[in-house]
Structure 1
Amino acid sequence: MPAARECLLDAAAAALRAHPWPAVRMIEVAAAAGVSRQTLYNEFGGKAGLGRALVRREADRYLEGVDRALSGPARPSERLAALAEWTVRAARARPLLRALLTGSWDPGLPAGGGRTPGPGELARDVRDRAAAALMPGEGPQRCELAVRLALSYVVAPGEGPGEGELLGLLSAPIRTAGAR
């Protein structure tokens, strides 16, 4: 039941935006999705399974967004900056994503569980995707820097309107000693 599964996950996400995870009730999620509570239990096994699926979907959606950012503007440096900026914006707006990227789980969020990637695994995956999409043969160092810079902004947000300028430096040309 792929359609029911997505409806249930959408309903659970909406419930999580309104209430902390411990206050989310399965019967209310099922009703909001327009399915029976039994369907919810058949699909996820219980609240813990629903929570794990919600976290897994958040990780998948983040990686889909990474791929979109990497396929954007023409210059690789602009795409790398877009990736960093998108990561920061998305993590600020989505508590589950912030928890996935930082490993800091608020008790009001569902637990990730076994198949959920940790922060290090997500960072490596993003770095490798960026290196493959942007700079084949050049090495992943600049991609690693962009990912870690973005994550530093997720953990310790910048202050004020100028913070985007720092991330924008990623798209600036690299100056070498010979170019000075």
Structure 2
Amino acid sequence: MPAARESLLEAAGAALAARPWRAVRMVDVAAAAGVSRQTLYNEFGGKHGLGRALVRRETDRFLAGVDRALDLPAPPAERLAALADWTVTAARTHPVVRALLTGCWSDALPAPEAGFPAPRLPGAVPAEPGALTRAVRDRAAAALGPLHASPGHCELVVRLALSYVVAPAEEPAEPVLDHLLGAFSAPSPTAAGRSPRR
């Protein structure tokens, strides 16, 4: 029942936005989704399973946004800026994404399981501090290629974006990000005609 499953996840997400996870009741989620409580239990097995599925869905949605930013028809620096912007926006508006990126979980959120499989992802994104950040770094490095951004540069951009989530600044992040990304606009030694060292 894909439609019922998605309706239940939408209802669970709306409930989580309104109250702590511990106060979310299965009967209310089922009623909001327009299905029976038995259907909810058939789909997820219980509240723990529903919470895990919600964490997976938030992970999938965040990484889909990461891919959209990295697939923009723009220079590498602009794609990294879009990635940073998406990271800040998603982490500020989705508590589960913020917790996955920062490792700061509370009892107001569903409890993740370490190493849960994330659908449509190669391997797994463990629910441990830094795992999703590393996944974003690796995707960015793969999308941009070694001539444009190393994994270290990509991780620096993601961590800079996260700093604006954890400790919001009064000033916008653009000047800092522009300065950091200026390095990506300069031609690389290979692009300038020199061969890379072996």
Q: Please name the residue that 1:43 is paired with.
A: 43
Whether the 8 Å CA contact 2:88–2:162 is kept in 1: the answer is yes
The amino acid of 2:168's aligned partner reads P
Change (3 A) 1:168 1:89: farther
Q: Please name the residue that 2:55 is paired with.
A: 55
2-structure distance, mates of 1:119, 1:164: 26
How many angstroms does 1:42 deviate by? 0.7
Q: Please name the residue that 2:4 is paired with.
A: 4
The amino acid of 1:149's aligned partner reads L
The answer to whether structure 1 residue 122 and structure 2 residue 118 are counterparts is: no
Taking the TM superposition and a 5 Å limit, the aligned residue runs for 1:76-155 are: 76-114=76-114, 115=116, 116-137=126-147, 139-155=150-166
Could you tell me which runs of 5 or more consecutive residues in structure 2 were left unpaired when the two chains were aligned. 117-125, 188-198
TM-score, reference length from structure 2: 0.81
1-structure distance, mates of 2:174, 2:168: 11
Choose between structure 1 and 2: higher helix proportion: 1
* Identical aligned residues as a percent: 67
The amino acid of 2:72's aligned partner reads G
How many angstroms does 1:168 deviate by? 3.0
The amino acid of 2:31's aligned partner reads A
Q: Deviations over 1:106-156 (max 9, x none)?
A: 221111123153332211111111111112455322212111211222222
Question: Which residue of the other structure, out of 162, 169, 175, is the alignment partner of 1:158?
Answer: 169
Q: What is the root-mean-square deviation of aligned Cα atoms in Å?
A: 1.8
Query: Which sits farther off after the overlay, 139-148 or 167-176?
Result: 167-176
Query: Which sits farther off after the overlay, 129-138 or 89-98?
Result: 129-138
TM-score, reference length from structure 1: 0.89
